[in-house]
Copies of this chain bind each other. A is one copy, B any other.
Amino acid sequence: MTDELLRALADPTRARIVELLAAEQLCVCHLVELTGATSSNLSNHLRVLRGVGAVEAEPAGRFTYYRLRPEVLEVVSAHYAGLASRARLALVVKRPCD
């Protein structure tokens, strides 16, 4: 669970990409029309998502299909679930000020 992964997923445009890829595999041309962003813009964002392992690319002729990597999303989900669980226990603990 790196900060980098969380930051990658927290960007609005990239979050939108992840939402779209959660429904079906898409190539960049689909993402262009679905998001309204330019292709170079999307290409940059997709590189970030690839860099943190959130998506993987599958070249298919002229096109490039992208799909999510569910395990990575599950790691993030488990991270926040663990925090939430510990946070419940922490509600009854209060460190004294001196």
A interface, CB within 8 angstroms of B? 3, 6-7, 9-12, 15, 18-19, 21-27, 29-30, 60, 63, 65, 67-71, 73-74, 76-81, 83-88, 90-91, 93-95, 97
Q: Are A94 and B65 neighbours in the complex by a CB distance under 8 Å? A: yes
Number of copies: 2
A-B contact pairs, 25 of them (CB 8 A): A9-B10, A10-B10, A21-B87, A22-B86, A23-B90, A24-B93, A25-B94, A60-B97, A65-B94, A67-B87, A67-B90, A67-B91, A69-B87, A70-B87, A73-B80, A73-B81, A73-B83, A73-B84, A74-B84, A76-B80, A77-B77, A77-B80, A77-B81, A77-B83, A81-B81
Q: Are A23 and B97 neighbours in the complex by a CB distance under 8 Å? A: no
